[in-house]
């Protein structure tokens, strides 16, 4: 492990906005994000596989009356988002270090209002399909965690993953589907507020178009 990574892991250990193994809230936070962490009843938005947290932090700046949680397994990446949020004085941001397969251990059914997945690994090979973050097993989890009418968002530069995801959200009976294969020329771009992740900026600079979809959980 490099010294830089060690330093970031130490930062996470000292940061109150990072919830990870070894901290008391790690085992008690499920169902209690509003009362025990944020101290308000504001909506909760997740960014899954958040990386360095650019989207989490950017949205939190834009919407101070909304609670944002970035989820990622990589502690050195989370540390960057955590530190950025602290430098900006953001109290509506948290980072959860865990595998996305374990979301139901940290969030109660209907506890979340929106979920963002931004530029996930497309897992292109057929044997990798179950690892795609829009595979039905993940979409089923999202439907459990999202409030009725809660929103799911996906951004990706990968057309194959996007086509796959479109098909799967329809199969899983998400509603109010809106999508575009060229976000920056679409009216849907207005909701993104110009926020770009590092990878999104790289793709954009290379001339790739950005695919985006949003849809809502079915009424149960």
Whole-angstrom distance, CA of residue 170 vs CA of residue 173: 5
Is 36 considered catalytic here?
no
Catalytic one of 36, 99, 109, 121: 121
Give the CA distances from residue 47 to residues 5, 164, 187, 193, 205, in Å, rounded to whole numbers and listed in that order: 22, 20, 22, 16, 23
DSSP 75-131: HHHHHHHHHHHHHTT-SSEEEEES-GGGGGGTS-TT-EEEEEEES-----SGGGGGG
| Sheet containing strand 44-48, strands side by side | 18-19, 93-97, 67-72, 44-48, 112-118, 146-156, 211-216, 175-180
- Cβ atoms of residues 50 and 115 within 8 Å: no
Output the CA angle 18-20-25, nearest 5 degrees.
85
127: buried, middle or exposed (CB in 10 Å: 19+, 13-18, 0-12)? exposed
The catalytic site residues sit at 121
């Amino acid at each position: 492990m490099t010294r830089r990574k060690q330093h970031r892991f130490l930062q996470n250990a000292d940061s109150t906005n990072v919830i990870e193994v070894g901290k008391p809230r790690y085992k008690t936070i499920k169902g209690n994000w509003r009362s025990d962490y944020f101290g308000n009843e504001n909506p909760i938005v997740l960014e899954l596989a958040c990386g360095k947290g650019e989207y989490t932090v950017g949205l939190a700046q834009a919407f101070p009356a909304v609670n944002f949680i970035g989820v990622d397994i990589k502690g050195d990446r989370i540390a960057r988002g955590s530190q950025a949020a602290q430098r900006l004085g953001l109290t509506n941001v948290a980072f959860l270090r865990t595998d996305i397969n374990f979301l139901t251990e940290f969030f109660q059914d209907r506890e979340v209002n929106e979920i963002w997945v931004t530029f996930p690994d497309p897992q292109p090979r057929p044997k990798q399909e179950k690892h795609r973050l829009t595979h039905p097993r993940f979409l089923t989890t999202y439907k459990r965690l999202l409030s009725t009418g809660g929103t799911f968002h996906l951004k990706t530069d990968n057309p194959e993953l996007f086509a796959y995801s479109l098909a799967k959200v329809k199969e899983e009976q998400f509603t109010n589907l809106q999508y575009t294969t060229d976000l920056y020329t679409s009216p849907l771009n207005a909701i993104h507020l110009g926020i770009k992740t590092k990878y999104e900026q790289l793709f954009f600079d290379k001339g790739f178009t950005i695919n985006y979809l949003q849809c809502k959980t079915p009424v149960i």
